[in-house]
Amino acid sequence: MDWNEERTAQLTKMWLEGMSASQCARQLGGVSRNAVIGKVHRLGLDSRQAPSRPRSLGGRPAGSGRAAANVVQAHRSATTVPTITPAPRPAPVAPPVNLELKPTTNLLSLGGHACRWPIGDPGTSDFGFCGRPRDGVGSYCADHAQTSLRRKRSEAAVNAEVEYWLKQASDNRRRPDSIAVR
């Protein structure tokens, strides 16, 4: 499976709605949970959960096979790794619509240098992205890069809403048009 525009838009929407990577993978089909996480990362939609370890080490060890892995593991155990304080990172999150400087730009086909700050409720037709030049940090323009550092989403509230409409769906009812994102 390839990440065409359709699937990418679908993934983006689900991720912004608070679905987990494995949920997104199951619903999309043909992709693994890791594939979803990788894609989300490359899209600049991270991050939701605090880093599970210092950024400097970890990940896939060079080479493959258990022997190589053991060597790496042994080296890590022997080397005293300074515990970096896991800097509480606020998640970049969809802001209220009425506080936006600029409404929406096009859908997911925005260029590689466009700000990816989501605007509006995912699931509604007016949902889009900022689209201004990404002269800020990360995937955002200067303003939204700054905004992302000051705003934090209530993860519990979002999860509760996702749980709600998942239950509605399982009850064979219609899914709400939108999930309030704040």
What residues line the site for DNA (CB under 7 A)? 1-3, 20-23, 31-35, 37-42, 46-49, 51-53, 55-56, 58-66, 69, 72-73, 76
CA–CA dist 96, 131 (Å, integer) = 17
Query: Are the CB atoms for 128 and 105 separated by under 8 Å?
Result: yes
CA–CA dist 24, 157 (Å, integer) = 19
Which of helix, strand or coil describes residue 119? strand
Question: In the bound complex, what is the minimum distance in angstroms from residue 52's beta carbon to DNA?
Answer: 3
Among residues 101 and 157, whose Cβ is nearest to DNA?
Answer: 157
Question: In the bound complex, what is the minimum distance in angstroms from residue 114's beta carbon to DNA?
Answer: 14
Question: In the bound complex, what is the minimum distance in angstroms from residue 81's beta carbon to DNA?
Answer: 9
Q: Would you tell me how many other CB atoms lie within 10 Å of the CB of residue 166?
A: 13
Among residues 39 and 132, whose Cβ is nearest to DNA?
Answer: 39
Query: Are the CB atoms for 134 and 151 separated by under 8 Å?
Result: no
Question: In the bound complex, what is the minimum distance in angstroms from residue 158's beta carbon to DNA?
Answer: 12
Q: Would you tell me how many other CB atoms lie within 10 Å of the CB of residue 7?
A: 17
Question: In the bound complex, what is the minimum distance in angstroms from residue 98's beta carbon to DNA?
Answer: 28
Among residues 18 and 128, whose Cβ is nearest to DNA?
Answer: 18
Among residues 67 and 99, whose Cβ is nearest to DNA?
Answer: 67
Query: Are the CB atoms for 134 and 140 separated by under 8 Å?
Result: yes
Among residues 3 and 102, whose Cβ is nearest to DNA?
Answer: 3
Residue type, 86: P
